[in-house]
Amino acid sequence: MRLKIVQQFPDFEERIDFLFQNDENFRDLCSDYDLCTSMILQRKIAEHKNKAEINEYETLQLILKEDIIKVLQSQT
């Protein structure tokens, strides 16, 4: 999971490493983002695609990504 987050935000690799080691909330946030991303991919390859469900997951993914960025950019 850490590797996926580093791939998304390569400029923050050191900060991600620090937060993964020291911040359970950050790990949970990244886990939620990873799960959401997986759910989107599963829905997109499903035989019967539910566009509304995909849109909901994509909205959630965007919110989680924004939250991750806020944490990465914070100085504390």
Residue-wise pLDDT for 2-28, tens only, equals 788 999 999 999 999 999 999 999 999
Pair 24, 10: CB distance under 8 Å: no
> Rounded to an integer, what distance in angstroms lies between the CA atom of residue 62 and that of residue 56?
10
Residue-wise pLDDT for 32-74, tens only, equals 999 999 999 999 999 888 999 999 999 999 999 999 999 999 9
**Assigned token pair, 13:** 């690799």
Nearest to 16 by CA among 6, 24, 7, 8: 6
Which pTM value belongs to this model?
0.89
Q: What are the CA-CA distances from residue 23 to residues 7, 52, 57, 60 (Å)?
A: 19, 33, 25, 21
pLDDT value for 69: 97
